Amino acid sequence: MTSAKSALAEEVRPVPRPVIPDRIEDLGIRRALVSDLVLRFLWLHGSATLSALHQTLKLSFPLLETLFHQFRQQQLLEVKGMVGNDYAFTLTAGGRVQATARNEVCQYVGPTPVSIQQYHAVVTSQAAQVRLGRESLRQAFSDLVLPDGLLDQLGPSLISHQSLFLYGGTGNGKTSIAERILRIYHDTVLVPYAVEVDGHIITVFDPVVHRLAPCDDELLDPRWAVCERPCITVGGELSGPMLELRLDESTKVFISPCQMKANNGILIIDDFGRQVLAPRDLLNRWIVPLDRRVDYLTLASGMKFQVPFELMVVFSTNLDPYDLADEAFLRRIQTKVLVEAVSDDIFDRIFQRVIQANQVGAEAGAAPYLRERCWAAGAKCLRACYPRDIYQLVKAISEYEGRPVRMTRANIDRAVALYFAKTSAVNSN
């Protein structure tokens, strides 16, 4: 019998992993940039050892030893002693002058960046490929109650890893569905700590976004972090600058935009149409990336460069898609899935899930009674969020009155009265 995990597993493709470079020439970036990193580390910390440089800069010991001897010959550093078998050293007066000058240009002290060319190659090679069927997809969404018809609409889009448009009334579960798509992936990807473009450093790895995964590959270039596939959610706060490189004026380091951090994963645009950024501006910004799988970013100098756009973008909205985008853009989002209001049966099953998950008692017939009260209170349809929301109100009422939580008809009546607005009462004032 095939396990749920193996049923969801990706079709394995051999991906050449970057190996540890032992020569500066094999790093793929400018020698001066590497030298500047060592100088800035010493300028910041006062002294260093090869082990400390290895831990922070993610460079191999043979490469660091080469730099160490070159710096000694150039009289940029002097040895202060030994720490075990390691050198302890500091900058000379001439080294401090040079380090101070380099620190004024950029203050980045961290893992050595990879080249933009290598970044493009690795991200492209890590494009997701999945094998997926109704049963394995149902397993991925096992904590949601979804009809088979909805799963059958989601499946093809997830297999092709194309962008997805989830639309329908508020409270029907669009965001919950989007956030669980990541469960179909069980592999890991490589994420660089930073990328170099034309001598500039762009940070990519973000500990808030990228979750580190165990790795036993001793030959892997440590400038790359092994991570789970990322998932980023942005909502009403999304603005135009968030889609572009941002220069940190204090450090002179560029911070990658959200779509670059989401490469090889998922970017969810929640409540699409309610952003600070006008919908058509966002769509115009991404019409080429969605079509060609590449994006173009601009440095402060005005130089444009290409980065991969290898991610699934999930748009979630309760607005009419045709009020937000024209046909040219909607054509590039090949799958549009309507997440409709739930049926009586689905509503009752969601209610039972909420009761079981929170381990609370309920009177017989509580689920259909809640449905009746929602209709009577003015609900235009049954929404998937009602059972959870009403339970939370019942819980709050019970805690306020110091009694056990129980889904009784009396408690449901009180919660429904708090939940639904009485528009007629407002209009009469």
Model confidence pLDDT, tens digit, residues 154-163: 988 888 777 8
* pLDDT (average), residues 112-120: 97
DSSP code string of 386-400: HHHHHHHHHHHHHHH
Q: Among residues of the chain, what percentage have pLDDT more than 90?
A: 75
Query: What does the pLDDT read at residue 69?
Result: 95
Query: What does the pLDDT read at residue 234?
Result: 93
Query: What does the pLDDT read at residue 424?
Result: 56
Alpha-carbon torsion angle 70, 71, 74, 80, nearest 10? -130
Same domain, 200 and 277: yes
Does any domain span residue 224?
yes
Same domain, 282 and 354: no
Does any domain span residue 4?
no
Residue 4 clears pLDDT 70, i.e. is over it: no
Does any domain span residue 3?
no
Q: Would you say 315 and 166 are in contact if contact means Cβ atoms under 8 Å apart?
A: yes
Same domain, 171 and 313: yes
Same domain, 420 and 350: yes
Same domain, 374 and 288: no
For β-strands 200-203 and 194-197, DSSP reports them as antiparallel
Query: What does the pLDDT read at residue 419?
Result: 95
Query: What does the pLDDT read at residue 349?
Result: 96
**pLDDT bucket at 7, cuts 50 / 70 / 90:** very low
Mean pLDDT over all residues of the chain?
Answer: 90
Q: What is the CATH number of the domain that holds 407?
A: 1.10.8.60
Residue 3 clears pLDDT 60, i.e. is over it: no
Same domain, 334 and 349: no
Query: What does the pLDDT read at residue 423?
Result: 63
* pLDDT (average), residues 230-241: 92
Query: What does the pLDDT read at residue 280?
Result: 82
Cα–Cα distance for residue pair 211/113, rounded to 1 Å: 19
Domain that holds residue 360: 344-427
Query: What does the pLDDT read at residue 177?
Result: 94
Query: What does the pLDDT read at residue 289?
Result: 92
**pLDDT bucket at 286, cuts 50 / 70 / 90:** confident
Same domain, 214 and 287: yes
Does any domain span residue 1?
no
Same domain, 367 and 421: yes
Q: What is the CATH number of the domain that holds 330?
A: 3.40.50.300
Residue 8 clears pLDDT 50, i.e. is over it: no
Q: Which of 8-22, 142-156, 246-260 has the highest mean pLDDT?
A: 246-260
Does any domain span residue 14?
no
Query: What does the pLDDT read at residue 130?
Result: 82
Query: What does the pLDDT read at residue 319?
Result: 86
- Taking the whole predicted model, whether its pTM rises above 0.85 is answered as yes
Query: What does the pLDDT read at residue 34?
Result: 96
Query: What does the pLDDT read at residue 199?
Result: 93
* pLDDT (average), residues 287-308: 92
Domain boundary among 321, 338, 355: 338
Same domain, 308 and 387: no
Model confidence pLDDT, tens digit, residues 60-84: 999 999 999 999 999 999 999 888 8
Pick the more confident residue, 241 or 280: 241
Does any domain span residue 13?
no
Q: Where are the beta strands (DSSP E) in 183-293?
A: 188-192, 194-197, 200-203, 224-228, 231-234, 246-248, 253-255, 266-269
DSSP code string of 284-302: HHHHHHHHHSEEEEE-TTS
Does any domain span residue 185?
yes
Cα–Cα distance for residue pair 315/138, rounded to 1 Å: 21
Same domain, 184 and 324: yes
Closest CA to 163 of 338, 339, 340, 330: 330
Q: State the total domains in the chain.
A: 3
Q: What is the CATH number of the domain that holds 50?
A: 1.10.10.10
Residue 125 clears pLDDT 80, i.e. is over it: yes
Residue 399 clears pLDDT 60, i.e. is over it: yes
Q: Among residues of the chain, what percentage have pLDDT more than 70?
A: 95
Cα–Cα distance for residue pair 89/97, rounded to 1 Å: 16
Domain boundary among 292, 314, 338: 338
Same domain, 164 and 299: yes
Does any domain span residue 148?
no
Model confidence pLDDT, tens digit, residues 32-47: 999 999 999 999 999 9
- Give SS3 for 343: coil
**pLDDT bucket at 337, cuts 50 / 70 / 90:** very high
Domain boundary among 308, 338, 368: 338
Same domain, 332 and 188: yes
**pLDDT bucket at 86, cuts 50 / 70 / 90:** very high
